[in-house]
Amino acid sequence: MKKILSIIFMGVAAFTMTSCFNDFDDADTSNFSVTATSIGEPNTTIYDIKNMYCSNSTKAGTNVNSSNFWSLISEDLIFEGVVVGNDISGNLYQQVYLRDFGTGGKAEGKTDQCIQLGIKNPCLHPYFRLGQKVRVNLKGLYVGVYSKTPKVGTPYFTSSGNNRLGPMLFDLLKTNVQLIGEPDPNAPELVPMDKTTATGLNWIKANSNQTWENSPILATVEGKIKEVQGGAAKAAEAGTQDSWNGVYESIITYYENGEKCYSKMYAPECLRDAGYAVDRTIQCSNGSTVTLRTGTGNDISFLTIPKDSRKYTGIMSYYSGWQMQLRDTKDIYPQIDPKLGTDSDENK
């Protein structure tokens, strides 16, 4: 009887659908826009916003500590930026990064600024494609820093019970965010800062550059992956393993308890930390280092770490030192063949 009722229901549903739409009609999607059609004209810049709300914790409406503070914006502060980072690979989770040259053109410095836009949705890249100009009205949103990184979002409590500046609700896009024109894949904002030259390497090495003005940025660094994340504790647990210049030669590491870990991938689950990510160390030619942080379970995490030096392009910020998050597998150059994995003869 239940089967008969199911068939009848499916038939009625099919008839209803065909009576609403035919071969000559398209569904009306005009009311399904996820962003606002107009939020006003820009009246400030990313630099000005960061200077007011991300530079000093003592001025913040909520001051958890010097690394986490924020303020509620009660006026129409409107800025523009171009999308230079999104979640296309799943590595930048619930994050979009906007870049603005301000009035200073392409020169690196105070007028060349980025900020993180946190949005509670696991699939943002269809709306925020690279090169898309975005206008943001901050009224009703919060601006501050999350682990020292300037951010726009909404406060929340983490699973550990910590009060932090998290992503804003997806529905707020309809009132606070406007897409301007179409994405430009050749937008000058998509050209990363080059930190592979002597000047760039010295810039990385100077601790004085670790300020809110220089974080976050879209940058390229170059070097070899120095070590496996997990430190001495993980290394002590491991059984037989071959090493090559500080990098594991064998893709598989067996621990004393028999557990198998594909340790030579960028972010294997067996090496994850409490934030479900794995930290690797990029060793630059002048001795400076950049932490490469990769979440588990995305397109980048399963790639096999190369032995040689590569260029890495991504969103760079600082905490205890410089940290980079890649946007896509293409951000590693020369690119890694995704077929080189656990079944590759090269890694057996």
CA distances from 114 to 85, 122, 185, 214 (A): 10, 21, 18, 8
Of the chain, the end-to-end C-alpha distance in Å amounts to 57
**Helix, strand or coil, per DSSP, at residue 216:** coil
- How many Å apart are CA 116 and CA 134, to the nearest integer? 12
Residues in the chain: 348
Residue 231 lies in domain: 193-347
- Output the pLDDT for position 340: 54
Last residue of a domain, one of 157, 190, 223: 190
- How many Å apart are CA 2 and CA 38, to the nearest integer? 51
Number of structural domains found in the chain: 2
Question: Do 119 and 212 sit in the same domain of this protein?
Answer: no
Across the chain, mean pLDDT equals 83
CB atoms inside a 10 Å sphere around CB 284: 21
Question: Do 213 and 301 sit in the same domain of this protein?
Answer: yes
142 membership: H or E segment, kind and range: strand 142-146
- Output the pLDDT for position 216: 98
As a whole number of Å, the CA-based R_g of the chain is 23
Is 51 inside a domain boundary? yes
Last residue of a domain, one of 190, 206, 225: 190
- Output the pLDDT for position 15: 41
- Output the pLDDT for position 281: 93
Token readout for 156 is: 């929340």
- Output the pLDDT for position 256: 58
Highest mean pLDDT: which of 56-60, 107-111, 243-247? 56-60
Is 218 inside a domain boundary? yes
Contact by Cβ (8 Å): 79, 44: yes
Q: What's the mean pLDDT in 130-134?
A: 98
Is 10 inside a domain boundary? no
- How many Å apart are CA 205 and CA 72, to the nearest integer? 35
Question: Do 228 and 265 sit in the same domain of this protein?
Answer: yes
pLDDT band at 108 (very low <50, low <70, confident <90, very high): low
Question: Do 177 and 245 sit in the same domain of this protein?
Answer: no
* 3-42 confidence digits (pLDDT tens): 444 443 344 444 444 444 344 454 443 455 799 999 999 9
Question: Do 257 and 147 sit in the same domain of this protein?
Answer: no
Last residue of a domain, one of 173, 190, 207: 190
Is 25 inside a domain boundary? no
pLDDT band at 103 (very low <50, low <70, confident <90, very high): low
Question: Do 76 and 216 sit in the same domain of this protein?
Answer: no
Question: Do 185 and 197 sit in the same domain of this protein?
Answer: no
Burial of 281 (0-12, 13-18, 19+ CB in 10 A): middle
- How many Å apart are CA 255 and CA 261, to the nearest integer? 8
- Output the pLDDT for position 32: 55
Contact by Cβ (8 Å): 118, 126: no
- Output the pLDDT for position 257: 63
| Closest C-alpha among 103, 167, 93, 99 to residue 123 | 93
- How many Å apart are CA 64 and CA 162, to the nearest integer? 9
Instruction: Report whether pLDDT(185) > 90.
Output: yes
Q: What's the mean pLDDT in 230-244?
A: 40
Q: What's the mean pLDDT in 195-209?
A: 96
Question: Do 118 and 172 sit in the same domain of this protein?
Answer: yes
In sequence order, the 6+-apart residues with CB closer than 8 A to the CB of 16 are none
Is 4 inside a domain boundary? no
Question: Do 181 and 210 sit in the same domain of this protein?
Answer: no
Question: Do 202 and 338 sit in the same domain of this protein?
Answer: yes
Q: What's the mean pLDDT in 322-326?
A: 98
DSSP string, 92-111: STTEEEEEE-TTSTT-SSTT
Q: What's the mean pLDDT in 51-77?
A: 96
Contact by Cβ (8 Å): 165, 142: yes
Is 20 inside a domain boundary? no
Question: Do 66 and 150 sit in the same domain of this protein?
Answer: yes
Q: Which residue has the tokens 């100009």?
A: 133
Is 221 inside a domain boundary? yes
- Output the pLDDT for position 244: 35
Question: Do 285 and 209 sit in the same domain of this protein?
Answer: yes
* 240-282 confidence digits (pLDDT tens): 344 433 444 456 666 656 677 777 889 988 888 888 999 999 9
In the DSSP assignment, the letter for residue 275 is T
* Percent above pLDDT 70 for the chain: 76
In sequence order, the 6+-apart residues with CB closer than 8 A to the CB of 267 are 277, 278, 294, 295, 296, 297, 298, 300, 301, 302
Burial of 184 (0-12, 13-18, 19+ CB in 10 A): middle
In sequence order, the 6+-apart residues with CB closer than 8 A to the CB of 160 are 274
- Output the pLDDT for position 275: 87
Burial of 114 (0-12, 13-18, 19+ CB in 10 A): buried
